[in-house]
Amino acid sequence: MAGWRRAVELAMSDEEIATLTTLSRSRIELASRVSRAQMLLAYRENPSFCAVGQRLGVHHQTVQRCVERALADGPLAALDDRPRPGKEPTITPEAKAWLVSLACDKAKDHGYPHELWTTRLLARHAREHGAATGHACLANLVQGTVCKILGQEAIKPHKVRYYLENRDAEFERKMADVLCVYREVQVLKKASAKGKRRGKPVTIVSCDEKPGIQAIATTAPDLPPKPGVHATFARDHEYKRHGTLSLLAGIDLLTGKVHALVKDRHRSREFIELLRLIDAAYPPNTAIKLILDNHSAHISRETRAWLAARPAGRFELTFTPKHGSWLNLIEGFFSKFARSVLRHIRVASKHELKERIMAGIDDVNRHPVIHTWSYKLAEAA
């Protein structure tokens, strides 16, 4: 007859007890780790395999194995499963490296019409060509295994993440020039607030174009909201296009006033018309500093000829670096204008769209907002 199982003493430090207590109450840990932590804590209170098993609803031999492993390896090591031998991997490390290298190529480079790999296509290619490259272990490769192998290397050959190449070698210098203009705006604002007068009057205008504003008409009238019926305006899905317009604008960074034109196109002649509008808005002795991007109309022969005909010192142009038009403060005004005046707009003609855009500009000028640039301004020289 088998003898009674003798209780064994399980010694644990205060730190181990605290860790086990936390794990035993966890809702995010593996259930096996939580259960074993509860067994060890319960056994510490009552050193009986059967009593602990009955209390926790497990077999007493399960409790015994957990306690014996805690004695041998330590209480915290007993929480995890022992490593099992498992099946020997059939795909060699060399074959995995070949597959990952293949995934780093484009599918079109291997004769497929696809631009990029799909995991299904990659698995098929590996099955068909793996043996020829010395990796016969890939003969039965399936899509799921491809996903696991690529996941281990954090490779996603079916996805594209876009980036912007820096094509302006003088990006930092040009950005500093723009920031210096914004610093000058800050200085002029402070001087104006204190009532100080500087030498020659100066104004700073941020200019740009917003092309492609669509003149879209409805084919059926909009239905207004009705309490208890539908909460929003209802609009028919069909619409009619009347073409597009371009908004050319410059915002005075000292007063918030917007100078604007709405035209069918935004060529050099339209930009020169905007310059004439800005020129007429300020006294002849005022120096006008413009912040512009590198649009062709801003640097064309016609534009340069018109500027050269103006009095010396009347216009001074500062250009944002290539792919740096976000440095132009008027982009924020265009964004706000699109989210307010142009949002969901429907018109019967291009003429109506032009009138409503100009009405929106007039509304802005009745309550001008002085825009302020702050990003990296402290770093400006």
How does pLDDT run across 306-349, given as a tens digit for each residue?
A: 999 999 999 999 999 998 889 999 999 999 999 999 999 999 99
For the cut 60, the answer to whether the pLDDT of residue 5 exceeds it is: no
CA–CA separation, 297 vs 177, rounded Å?
21
Most confident range (mean pLDDT) of 12-26, 177-191, 250-264 is: 250-264
Q: Taking the model in full, what pTM does it have?
A: 0.69
Domain ranges of the chain: 14-79, 93-152, 171-226+233-379
Query: With pLDDT > 70 as the criterion, what percentage of the chain qualifies?
Result: 97
Which tokens belong to 119?
């995991």
pLDDT of amino acid 4:
47
User: How far is residue 191's CA from residue 198's CA, in Å, rounded to a whole number?
Assistant: 8
CATH, range 171-226+233-379: 3.30.420.10
> 185-219 as b/e, with b when 16 or more CB fall inside 10 Å?
beebeeeeeeeeeeeeebbbbbbbbbeebebbeee
